Amino acid sequence: MSVRLVWRKAVNAVMLGLTGVCALITVGVLGVILGYLAWHGGRDINWNFFTKLPAPVGEAGGGMANAIVGSAKLLVVASLFGIPIGLLSGVYLAEFGGRWYSFFVRYATDLLNGVPSIVIGIFAYAVVVVPRHQFSTLAGGFALGIMMIPIAVRSAEEFLRAVPSSLREAAMALGASRWRTVATVVIPAALQGIIGGIMLDLARVAGETAPLLFTAFNNLYWSPGWNQPTASLPVLIYTYAISPYDDWHRQAWAAGLVLLALVLAANIITRLMLSRRGAARGA
């Protein structure tokens, strides 16, 4: 056994150990954050939280039902706008793209991802709110939708590319046209990864405050339809967190916990539906 081999084995052990430490740190950070949230907000979560409107400071029994529904509506609009653009652009980049045009699209995507969320908010304000003289769920969803595009594009492209070319070639050899191959073989093969990317994407925009202030505005009551100002969890968390009252601070922590729980729920539901579909397909 040469010195070199011992050295290589040592490097192997150390580096693998280090990756474990990295994973531990990353997950540990989450543990700290969740623990902190649960510690500060857990006591304040009760049934009212999900059924009642916010109460003014000092009154017991308030909830944030309108903000929860508002956030859900905003995310629906954002998904309807952002996911198709992101996904199909990803398909374009991975399957059809010409060299230069793809380069521009990728570059633009990265630029879009670096625009501070407040600037996206100002942009959505200028192109949606000002012409209509109306803050609305649609305007807020539009802003969040723009923010969703970059990650959706990136994850779609990466996972489509990662599909082994043998799979593609097999389908083409059977006489399928290119788009059929993509639609029936490549996309299903990459779907798991893409959905993962989109869940990450939704999680990211679900917690954004700045793009909503000037677009979705706020609502102390229920927001009817899609064309009225609406409350949302991040805006509520923000206004409560910067308020001077202890009462509201605790509600802000609790709302943070609820937001995480909702993202978690959305994530689990999607994955369950996906695996059920996958099982049905396999049968």
Measured distance CA(54)–CA(236) in Å, rounded: 9
The one among 39, 42, 46, 111 contacting another protein by CB under 8 A: 111
The one among 39, 222, 265, 275 contacting another protein by CB under 8 A: 222
Binding mask 115-144 for another protein (x = CB under 8 A): xxxxxx-xx--xx-xx--xxx---------
Which 173-202 positions form the footprint of another protein (CB under 8 A)? 177-180, 182-183, 193, 196-197, 199-200
Measured distance CA(52)–CA(62) in Å, rounded: 6
Residue type, 187: I
* Cβ proximity of 141 and 77 under 8 Å: yes
| 60 contributes a contact to another protein by CB under 8 A | no
- Rounded to the nearest 5°, which phi and psi values hold at 62? -75, 160
For the chain, give the number of residues: 283
- Residue 190 in tokens: 């990459």
Query: Least separation, in Å, of the C-beta of 89 and another protein?
Result: 4
| 101 contributes a contact to another protein by CB under 8 A | yes
| 6 contributes a contact to another protein by CB under 8 A | no
Distances (CA, A) of 248 to 32, 44, 64, 71, 253: 22, 10, 12, 19, 9
- Give one word for 133, left, alpha or beta, with left for phi > 0 and alpha for psi -120 to 50: left
Which 30-59 positions form the footprint of another protein (CB under 8 A)? 30, 32-34, 36-37, 54-58
- The Cβ of residue 147 has, within 10 Å, a number of other Cβ atoms equal to 23
Query: Least separation, in Å, of the C-beta of 144 and another protein?
Result: 13
| 80 contributes a contact to another protein by CB under 8 A | no
| 89 contributes a contact to another protein by CB under 8 A | yes
The one among 15, 167, 170, 174 contacting another protein by CB under 8 A: 15
Return the number of the residue (43 or 179) whose C-beta is nearest another protein. 179
| 228 contributes a contact to another protein by CB under 8 A | yes
